[in-house]
Structure 1
Amino acid sequence: MEIKGPPGSQIATAEGGDFSEPQPGALVAGMLIGAVYRLRVTNIPEQIGFEVFPTVEVIDRTYPPRGQEFRFPIPVELTQEELEMALAGQFVTRVIYLEDPDNAVPVAREGNEQAYFEVADGDNPLDVADTLGRPVAILRLGARVPGPEGPDATFLYGCPPMVKWHASQPRVMSVINDDSQASAQSKPIRDLTPTNRHSMRRSRRR
């Protein structure tokens, strides 16, 4: 997974019963299928001092070449608009799916922004995504915050494990060849945003 927020924002993950130190830039990590991961987003532009606690649920996997798992992450973008919607009390559900080229939706795309479209009222975004491709992750944002005593295990969904990628590591990992037992050479990869992964969302007031 590659999760990123607006420029300047910071993301922390639930670890060991609390949140980690917030980090700027994108969070790249390997996550378990079926687990729900609680995040903490701070330093939101134009909303300094406010925090949003979205969740990411991984519901399927991709199949990158062995040793290149961090080169082809599933992109999840926390937009300024959606973070402000959550702060205003709205609940946003975004489903990220791998697009079926035979059912491609003609959505204009600007730069590297993740393409998305709104589903109609009453439609389940997961069901709609299933008709257009293969859903792989669900992002949920709302106004829920930890209690006065801080986040508990329920709020943090038990802090499921993850494997984080760090900027000092290459995106392509060294792999031992089963036949020769030789270590494959690897170099850092920079441009990693796939173009065929789209999302749809639904928002409602609580």
Structure 2
Amino acid sequence: MLGYTQPTAIRVPAGVEVGYAQGGQFTQPESGDVLLGLQVGSVYRLRVTNVFDRPGVEIFPTVELIDRLYPPPGAALKFPVPIDITAEDLELAAQGMYVTRVIYVEDPNQALPVDEVDGKTTWYEARPEEDPLEVADAAGRPIAILRIGGRDISQAAGQGFATYGCPPIVEYGRKHSAE
């Protein structure tokens, strides 16, 4: 699995802009969702700007791919790992809170009996005393970990720290949301 490029959909609220670390620096943030090819086993740093009513606020989440999906041959781009960065996540991070979200493939024998809404990921919150990775592991197969907030890296010493050394990344395209 190490080195496999997994299509990953970074989805943000309307009007929010997202860029990513590439080539030792951050790309210019653009509005809308972005479909990226990320390698399993790597940590990627994002740069989120235009965060609602907070001019000048930048948030630097990380995405760590720990597994991959197994779509039908030739259909990988139709089945990306969905990474939703919600308005609530961004608001908590802007207030200095730390958010960890584990994205997992649900175990069909333990699936919650709820209707899926197209384009929306179903999620539930782990209790403060629970490890989110253990909770996701009990519910299925963890694929990725999203970490947001906790510290301001915009003034971090050394761009290598801020960008995690820029592992390889492929941009497949953007979906601009209506504001």
User: Which has the higher mean CA deviation after the structures are superposed, 96-105 or 149-158?
Assistant: 149-158
Normalized per residue, the structure richer in strand is 2
Is contact 1:108–1:115 with CA below 8 Å preserved after alignment?
A: no
Counterpart position of 1:46: 53
Q: Secondary structure at the match of 2:143?
A: strand
Counterpart position of 2:124: 117
**Distance change in 2, residues 1:78/1:132 (3 Å):** same
* Cα distance in 1 between the residues matched to 2:137 and 2:66: 12
TM-score normalised per structure 1: 0.75
* Cα distance in 1 between the residues matched to 2:13 and 2:154: 26
**What is the CA distance between 1:67 and its match in structure 2?**
2.3
> Any stretches of 5+ residues in structure 2 without a counterpart?
1-7
Q: Secondary structure at the match of 2:10?
A: strand
Question: After the TM superposition, which residues 136-151 of structure 1 pair with which residues of structure 2 at under 5 Å, given as runs?
Answer: 136-146=143-153, 148=155
**What is the CA distance between 1:113 and its match in structure 2?**
2.5
> Any stretches of 5+ residues in structure 1 without a counterpart?
169-206
**What is the CA distance between 1:163 and its match in structure 2?**
1.5
* Cα distance in 2 between the residues matched to 1:145 and 1:50: 10
* Cα distance in 2 between the residues matched to 1:138 and 1:65: 24
Q: 1:90 aligns with which of 84, 97, 104?
A: 97
Q: 2:78 aligns with which of 53, 71, 79?
A: 71
**What is the CA distance between 1:23 and its match in structure 2?**
1.8
Identity across matched positions, percent: 45
Equivalent position amino acid for 1:67 in 2 = G
Question: After the TM superposition, which residues 96-115 of structure 1 pair with which residues of structure 2 at under 5 Å, given as runs?
Answer: 96-106=103-113, 112-115=119-122
Q: 1:130 aligns with which of 137, 154, 162?
A: 137
Between 1 and 2, higher relative CO (CA 8 Å, sep ≥ 6) is seen in 2
Equivalent position amino acid for 2:134 in 1 = D
Counterpart position of 2:30: 23
Is contact 2:58–2:154 with CA below 8 Å preserved after alignment?
A: no
**What is the CA distance between 1:13 and its match in structure 2?**
0.5
**What is the CA distance between 1:49 and its match in structure 2?**
2.2
Is contact 2:9–2:83 with CA below 8 Å preserved after alignment?
A: yes
Equivalent position amino acid for 1:113 in 2 = K
* Cα distance in 2 between the residues matched to 1:124 and 1:43: 31
Spell out, residue by residue over 1:17-42, the C-alpha distance to the aligned partner (whole angstroms, 9 max, x if none).
Answer: 11001122111011111100000001
* Cα distance in 1 between the residues matched to 2:149 and 2:64: 15
1:159 aligns with 2:163: no
Normalized per residue, the structure richer in helix is 2
* Cα distance in 1 between the residues matched to 2:82 and 2:156: 33
Equivalent position amino acid for 1:91 in 2 = Y
Q: Computing the radius of gyration over CA atoms, which structure comes out larger, 1 or 2? A: 1
Report how many aligned residue pairs link the two structures.
168
**Distance change in 2, residues 1:151/1:113 (3 Å):** farther
Is contact 1:7–1:45 with CA below 8 Å preserved after alignment?
A: no
User: Which has the higher mean CA deviation after the structures are superposed, 100-109 or 4-13?
Assistant: 100-109
Spell out, residue by residue over 1:74-128, the C-alpha distance to the aligned partner (whole angstroms, 9 max, x if none).
Answer: 0011000110101111110000000111101345655632211111221111111
